[in-house]
Amino acid sequence: MGDQSSGKSSVLEALSGVPLPRGPGLVTRCPVRLVMRRAPNDKWSATASTTLSPSIIVANTPAELTAIITRLTNTLISNTQGFSTETIIVRLSSPESPDLTVVDLPGIIRTVTCGQDSEIVNNVNQLIDEYLKQERTIILAVIPSNQDVATVDILERAQRVDPQGERTLGILTKPDLIDPGNEEEVVAVLNNIRKPLKLGYIMVKNQSQSQSCQSQIMMSHTSAMKDEEHFFESHPTFMCLNRQLLGVRNLTAVLTKLLATRIQSQLAPMKRHVEIMLSKVRADIRALSSYGTAASASERQKLLVTLTQEFVRHLNDCVRGEYRDRLIVCNPNLRLYTRALVIFHELKSRIISTAPNFYLADFVSNLALQMEALRGRELPGFMSAQSFYMFIQEFIDAWAAPARMAAAQMRALASEVVCELFQKIAVSYPTLRNSLNEVALSILEETEGQALQLLDGLVMREKDPFTINEFLQAHINKLRYDRFEKSVDSAFSGTANDKGGLTSWQATKEHVGASLRSWYRSTHGVNSSANAEDMSAILEAYWTLASKRFVDNACMCLDDRILGTLCSKLQEQCYRFVHDETKLEAFFTEDPSLVASRSQLERNRDCLVRANSTMASIHVTRKVLRTNTGAKEYWWHSITHLTQASQLNYA
């Protein structure tokens, strides 16, 4: 990464031998990915394309490639205010190219100039950060030698994404523009003293803009490297430095070694990542695959039977709550019975919410008034059974609405699960799915009607009170005892204390006796209030018993009528299509978009399989070559195209 006009494209040009567009200001207006491979012969070849278009343009010479890059850049930025996040991809093969993949990014912009969009600063920064955050990216921090390293934030940005410095290399450019007297400061940076980096710095001297303007043709790659070597050998300060810190040749060797080291360290994680991707793609392909072919009439009949059996098997597991199949385990929405239990509990809550407030004084008072209004020939002290029937029927009428709501919810839930299960089983055949969904809806509407009739019958039966359950008697006695206990507690809590804080036995006895006599007259006396109190206890006891019984019966009714018959009826209806060739032919017409998606997934699978096979055979070795200047260590790998897994970024 680096500022505008810091020499980033010139460094890329020195590495590749391709004269890239350069100049003052923002010249690189979109990412340029340069994939370089060393050619086994002396042939030079290059192609260019963009991420927006699959068309490939062939370049016959470096100058022609430069013109193509300029033309593609202008095309990408034509409608984007002079900047684009789309990438130009250049593939270069030549005898002088190293096996590297580098990306040239726009330089950091701090302020816009006349004619530039104000958003360009944020857009460029977002693009740079997107590349820098990639763990497998090697960052080349490009810094002009004539600029104080303390005044630039290039290295600070790199440190934020690479705090350990494992993938950041400093590149010093434009050594010919250093002001006289500042050479020692630059040497301190180059020797990793002024601003230390774990990977250190390398200085390169590229062909300057003035040299390009003065020459009618661009200097050849070999000539440029010789010119650079002559500059460092003749410079009074740099000629005394370690030669491994100077020149594009050493930069290429360091990058190749660094890239090989990074590949070696990242190979195992890359293998795991590819295997995970491959597993996911294979799962996606299975999800989009059918259970057989449908080319002929007999194959279509067989496929319909197979799909129906597979569907009914899964639906039966969903209905019974047996979630052993992977399809149901991985899709919680298909767990029909688990979701049905939620509806059952909601029904129970709604029924409980209809319970009258048997304990409230207002309820007992209103009950007394109604009982008095209904009194006929009953003798004093006797309660009318007809009153009990009328009151309990009124309370039970409130259960009908929650029960009908539960039936509608169960039908909607079953329809949703059936639809989603059809989507999973017959993913490639939309016409078949739609037709079978219509059949399922018809069946569910029918079974919902049957369930509603049964629920109405349950309500009617509950409105005719009956039980031989001893719970009713026990509960009535419990309610009466609880009320008596409450009256005793109330009597003792109201006893008066004497002045010394002590209660005399006689005073307590009189107070408790008076309180209990008052309670007994109100609850057991021959009056409407006493009858209402006792009727309230009986109504509460029977309502509790009947509501529990109704909830259980209603849930069993919904389970049996809506869920229990669904599988067999659906299977019967589906088999009726087996001999209807016209419908079968329409059923098994695949969705074109899914066919295209499956084809793309199969291509992705094949690419991942090849990548996995390639990485299984990759190994990184090193060679030590003896030259006149001593031993130099070069790194190489047996499969050079794997370097695409890592890349060098210039920003």
| CATH topology assigned to domain 297-495+505-589 | Four Helix Bundle (Hemerythrin (Met), subunit A) (1.20.120)
Question: What pTM did the predictor assign?
Answer: 0.55
- 1-132 topology per CATH: Rossmann fold (3.40.50)
The residue with greater pLDDT, 485 or 499, is: 485
**Per-residue pLDDT band at 486 (split at 50, 70, 90):** confident
What pLDDT digit, counting tens, does each position of 193-202 carry? Answer: 888 888 899 9
Compute the distance between CA of residue 511 and CA of residue 494 in angstroms, rounded to an integer.
8
Question: Which of 215, 143, 201, 141 lies closest to 174 in space, CA to CA?
Answer: 143
Q: How far apart are CA 317 and CA 567, in angstroms?
A: 10
Which residues, listed in sequence order, are joined to residue 622 by a DSSP beta bridge?
Answer: 635
Mean pLDDT value across residues 115-126? 73
Q: Tens of pLDDT along 527-584?
A: 666 677 778 888 988 999 999 999 999 999 999 999 999 999 999 998 989 888 888 8
Q: What share of the chain is helix, strand, coil (3-state, %, to 5)?
A: 60, 10, 30
Residues 106, 27: Cα–Cα separation, whole Å = 8
H or E segment to which residue 284 belongs? helix 248-288
pLDDT, position 407: 97
pLDDT confidence of residue 644: 43
pLDDT on residue 526: 59
pLDDT, position 219: 58
* 5 phi-psi bin (left φ>0, alpha ψ -120 to 50, beta other): left
Average pLDDT, the chain: 81
**What's the mean pLDDT in 147-165?**
83
Q: Is the dihedral of CA 543, 544, 549, 551 positive or negative?
A: positive
Residue 271 has pLDDT above 90, yes or no: no
Domain boundaries, the chain: 1-132, 297-495+505-589
Helices 505-524 & 528-558 angle (0-180, nearest 10): 60
Cβ 197 vs Cβ 168: under 8 Å: yes
DSSP 387: H
Condensed to tens digits (0 to 9), the pLDDT of residues 496-512 reads 544 444 457 777 777 77
Residue 215 has pLDDT above 80, yes or no: no
Please check the confidence at residue 321 and state whether its pLDDT lies above 80.
Answer: yes
The residues, any chain, with a CB within 8 Å of residue 578's CB and separated by 6 or more, are 301, 304, 305, 584
Would you list the DSSP string of 395-446?
HHHTTHHHHHHHHHHHHHHHHHHHHHHHHHHSTT-HHHHHHHHHHHHHHHHH
The predicted model gives 453-478 an average pLDDT of 89
Q: Is residue 393 very low, low, confident or very high in pLDDT (cuts 50, 70, 90)?
A: very high
pLDDT at 363 over 70: yes
Q: Lowest-confidence range among 69-83, 308-322, 423-437? A: 69-83
